[in-house]
Structure 1
């Protein structure tokens, strides 16, 4: 639309403005016409590409050229250049400079007609020259509208970027959660099975088939336990709710620690997310106890307080020597991440006194 209007003004001026030639006054009119065309075509330059001072100089020269064209030409539509330039002044410049420059344009054009500088437009009232400043208001309104549209688009882009960042954060959080679950299920279960198979392989050289069979049976039980853990992982990933007390008791029984669970306080139903993470912490603690303190006693306490749910896993020192190998180092990190996601606190460290001295304890406090 802007280019169509600009072309219409230029074509109209070329067809109506007189005199226009290559000598005398006709040459002067032709030069002013070209300058006005250049000033009008420059409206298409993006605002960010033209420095503010350069814009003021360009539009000021355009105003002088438009007023001069009105005074030098005898007839035609030269006054349209002044109207369109004033409209663009309101769009391009800040309000203060725009009003000053537009008022100057109106006074110049009105003065040229009033004082009949040059042949002028004899049939054009001098008051028309003053009205050339009026389009500045339209230009300012267009500028405000464009700024409002740009602000809305910028806000929409910011909201879209925020949504993408939030989605990425959710994806990363879910990946971390799955990584913890995979670590809990595969790393620990496979480590236990590997230890039993290595023990069975070592016992084969002694010829003690009973111990070989016992190690083999233990490996089979670990495989079954791994399947149960895989089911728990599937439940966790699907956000299925697991009964905390019953599942914890079953976990202890399957790991060979019957009657190791103590429940204090009045059991209440905790959120599915809390139950899942407490079960994972218990599973991690039991696996670490089996790896680093084989044969040691294990005690688990689940306390339901008024404002929190507390899980404590404590194991005594090892009673037999087993080469547990080196862990991945991700177990304790995973437990801390789980507790942090629930807004709780985790305490883990060696037991320094009591019957379990030399063992290890883990305590997770989850607020309600």
Structure 2
């Protein structure tokens, strides 16, 4: 972050530091290099110096005029500490113009003192508060008027003060203009940094939501699929008990036990996925296919290579979803799984033939295919799922996922 070097009080006048509520309300805050306490101290020093040195001060005649002009000059100088959002531009021009007139009048009416400091400091704030053209015009007018008062000796206090000092009263406007430009640049940098911070927070929130979605898909894959398959087998056991066919009861019971073991394996895979552990794609896929009851169903083509952990995890989940759907909607149907490694992509294809046993799939959650599409979309790939209309698997179902890279 860029910091602004402190400059003279004549060029300052920025509002004091704002709170978080000020920033939310759109009010400006103090920028680096602006110490509001120092600015107040300098302003009060000028006012105090004027009160102690400017003469004459009294309750009648010229003394009363000097006292009134001291009050007006002090008020105009103290007003520079008002926050910018509280002072409309037109009012600021009126206030600063009136302050210039009061400063010129004080310089002409007073006999001695440091009254000229009011004009110096006020011109510095004119450069900070007003736009460049208006600031230069008003400060130039202040210089000409002060110089004219002293040169022409229009007031009783003009003789001791050189007229060149009057012409110099507008010079601090340049410091104010420079400081205003620096402050605007710093404010732009701060706003850009805050905008970047907000964008980073939004990106982090998006990443959290994406991760939650991934975890939800993994939980669905483990719980919904496994419990649905186990429930099917238990329902089959209940139906077979009534028939008295103990052999088929034992077979269904053994299948249920096998599904429980498989569910434990799937839970382990989910834990690996959540921990971003790398699993061997071909070996893990082969074990998954065999545990689903389809031996020698996996075919691997192309040159086997190691793929990124995220690709492995998502392809395994897609395979798990497809195998579970095949068991649910096409029980007894033959299943073929193909894993193809190409130079620019990795393809997973799962086909199942029509069911050879009664189908009792029940109502699905509808999250399976949605989860597949989400997984593949995160990897920039494509997924298709639909019936096979030709070839040896005609009448069956096919899921194909293609991941680039």
TM-score by length of 2: 0.88
Map of 1:120-269 to 2, 5 A cutoff? 120-269=157-306
SS in 1 for 2:349: strand
Q: For 1:307 and 1:118, locate their aligned partners in 2 and report how far apart those are by CA, in whole Å.
A: 91
Gaps of at least 5 residues in structure 1 are: none
Q: What per-residue deviation string (whole Å, max 9, x for no partner) do you get for residues 275-334 of structure 1?
A: 111111111100011111111111111111221111111111112223211111111111
SS in 2 for 1:205: helix
Q: For 2:359 and 2:236, locate their aligned partners in 1 and report how far apart those are by CA, in whole Å.
A: 9
Q: For 1:72 and 1:266, locate their aligned partners in 2 and report how far apart those are by CA, in whole Å.
A: 99
Q: CA deviation at 1:67?
A: 0.3
Contact 1:13–1:76 (Cα < 8 Å) also in 2? yes
Residue 273 (structure 1) aligned with residue 273 (structure 2): no
Contact 2:149–2:158 (Cα < 8 Å) also in 1? no
Bigger CA drift: 358-367 or 143-152? 143-152
SS in 1 for 2:170: coil
Q: Which residue of 2 aligns with 1:9?
A: 46
Q: What per-residue deviation string (whole Å, max 9, x for no partner) do you get for residues 168-226 of structure 1?
A: 12211111111111111111001111111121122222222222222111110000000
Map of 1:1-368 to 2, 5 A cutoff? 1-368=38-405
SS in 1 for 2:336: strand
Contact 2:280–2:312 (Cα < 8 Å) also in 1? yes
The count of residues paired between Structure 1 and Structure 2 equals 368
SS in 2 for 1:132: helix
SS in 1 for 2:243: coil
Q: For 2:58 and 2:394, locate their aligned partners in 1 and report how far apart those are by CA, in whole Å.
A: 110
Contact 1:9–1:80 (Cα < 8 Å) also in 2? yes
The RMSD of aligned alpha carbons is 1.3
Contact 1:112–1:120 (Cα < 8 Å) also in 2? no
Gaps of at least 5 residues in structure 2 are: 1-37
Q: CA deviation at 1:151?
A: 2.2
Q: For 1:88 and 1:341, locate their aligned partners in 2 and report how far apart those are by CA, in whole Å.
A: 57
Q: What per-residue deviation string (whole Å, max 9, x for no partner) do you get for residues 91-126 of structure 1?
A: 111222111111111111111111111212321011
